[in-house]
């Protein structure tokens, strides 16, 4: 990933709005497919078909060899779950992460959803992860720095008794799924780029939260990231635009 931060023009932002709207709609389709008895592959199929019918391409499919349009992660799986034959059941929680490319620009979003009735811990984890995003983007304004977003996410998550994954971060987005800058969900303990936010930047803020410890492992498939202590995990993400005022959430449509 290049270190160059690309500031988007008005015309580019308009295309990004369209790409993001498709991505948000696809997330909604995935959320509706999350129900007892369905496989993770069936959830992926619903997302894939929606993106294609909307005139876009599923950006995740083939990305570094990833074999599906959607990352579908269940329970202790944090991110990058590969859709397959696994059946989801009442009591599970399912994270859906996807991107859509439209006219050369990418929209990216994620969310974690319950299957039927879930535990109180799971309900709280999902709610805290989602709210952590909104706590973070209070600082997604001109003049603040990237680290201000992460510090707010971390403080909120930890104040609710959960932990923030350190191994994976949010990112810039535009013509590529991953652009500069990196957007950590915590205040970095080591020196790393910490640019100021300026109007026209487009970034993805995506808290990844574990009910237990924040350490993670990658499974033998080379993709699926799980909590090291097998505690439940949740993920929430939107593509946002830095404006001259409040941030604009480009993938907010159809979210709950």
Show the domains of the chain with their CATH numbers: 10-249 (3.90.230.10)
Structure tokens at 66: 């990833």
Q: Which pLDDT belongs to residue 254?
A: 65
Q: Which pLDDT belongs to residue 88?
A: 98
Cα–Cα distance, 71 to 80 (Å, whole number) = 5
Q: Which pLDDT belongs to residue 255?
A: 63
Cα–Cα distance, 247 to 13 (Å, whole number) = 13
Q: At what angle do helices 10-33 and 40-53 cross, to 10 degrees?
A: 140
What average pLDDT values come out for the chain (256 residues) when binned by 10 residues? 92 98 97 97 98 98 98 98 98 98 98 98 98 98 96 98 98 98 89 89 98 98 98 98 98 72
Q: Which pLDDT belongs to residue 21?
A: 97
Main-chain dihedrals φ then ψ at residue 75, nearest 5 degrees: 60, -105
CB 68 within 8 A of CB 99: no
Name the pTM for this structure.
0.97
Q: Which pLDDT belongs to residue 2?
A: 80
């Amino acid at each position: 990933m290049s270190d160059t931060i690309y500031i988007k023009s008005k015309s580019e932002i308009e295309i990004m709005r369209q790409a993001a709207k498709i991505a948000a709609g696809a997330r909604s389709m995935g959320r509706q497919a999350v129900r007892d008895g369905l496989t993770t592959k069936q959830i992926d199929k619903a997302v894939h078909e929606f993106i294609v019918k909307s005139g876009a391409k599923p950006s995740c499919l083939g990305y570094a060899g990833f074999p599906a349009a959607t990352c579908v992660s269940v329970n202790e799986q944090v991110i990058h779950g590969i859709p397959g034959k696994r059946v989801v059941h009442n009591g599970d929680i399912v994270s859906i992460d996807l991107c859509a490319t439209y006219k050369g620009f990418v929209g990216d979003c994620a969310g974690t959803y319950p299957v039927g009735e879930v535990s109180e811990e799971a309900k709280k984890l999902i709610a805290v992860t989602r709210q952590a995003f909104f706590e973070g983007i209070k600082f997604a304004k001109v003049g603040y720095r990237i680290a201000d977003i992460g510090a707010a996410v971390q403080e909120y998550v930890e104040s609710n008794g959960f932990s923030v994954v350190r191994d994976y971060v949010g990112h810039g987005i535009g013509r590529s799924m991953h652009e500069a800058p990196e957007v950590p969900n915590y205040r970095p303990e080591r020196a790393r780029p910490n640019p100021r936010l300026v109007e026209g930047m487009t970034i993805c803020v995506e808290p990844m939260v574990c009910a237990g410890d924040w350490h993670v492992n990658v499974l033998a498939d080379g993709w699926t990231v799980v909590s090291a202590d097998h505690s439940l995990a949740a993920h929430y993400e939107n593509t946002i635009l830095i404006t001259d005022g409040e941030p604009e959430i480009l993938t907010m449509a159809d979210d709950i």
